[in-house]
Amino acid sequence: MATQLLPPFTEETARAKVQFAEDAWNSRDPERVALAYSEDSEWRNRDQFFKGRAAIKAFLREKWSVEDHYKLKKELWAFTGNRISVAFFYEWKQVETGQWFRSHGNEQWEFDTDGLMRRRESSVNDIAIKEEERRL
């Protein structure tokens, strides 16, 4: 499905691409998530830089090994041609301490002609929250 949503994006296909990404990430399945990215996809996630599906899968496995009860919401912010920008937040409970967090961020995505994401730039900030403050 993800690769059927090809650039140049319309509002409808951009929104569908964002929903597809949200659904995949909420599955917490690194294999499923990685299929939306090109084999040589380049990522910046916070202060980490890496390239390729194998690195993406490794990153996601590590991420979700410490972020329990992960739940994500993405919102289309802007789109043009082969690029989409999203705002997002997600909530999670740190496995080691039991502390809840809400992480807010923005992502810029760039897609190849097959509809696979070839570049992902993500900026994220975390805030500690009480369990009763959760929104998701």
Closest CA relative to residue 54, chosen from 27, 31, 36 = 31
pTM of the model: 0.95
**Residue 31 CA neighbour count, 13 Å, CB half:** 0
CA distance 129 to 62: 22
Distances (CA, A) of 19 to 2, 76, 97, 102, 116: 10, 9, 31, 20, 15
CA distance 20 to 116: 12
pLDDT at 3: 54
Neighbours of 116 (CB within 10 A): 18
Closest CA relative to residue 129, chosen from 92, 75, 97, 74 = 92
From first to last of the 136 residues of the chain, give the pLDDT tens digit. Answer: 455 799 999 999 999 999 999 999 999 999 999 999 999 999 999 999 999 999 999 999 999 999 999 999 999 999 999 999 999 999 999 999 999 999 999 999 999 999 999 999 999 999 999 999 999 9
Distances (CA, A) of 83 to 5, 17, 109: 12, 11, 5
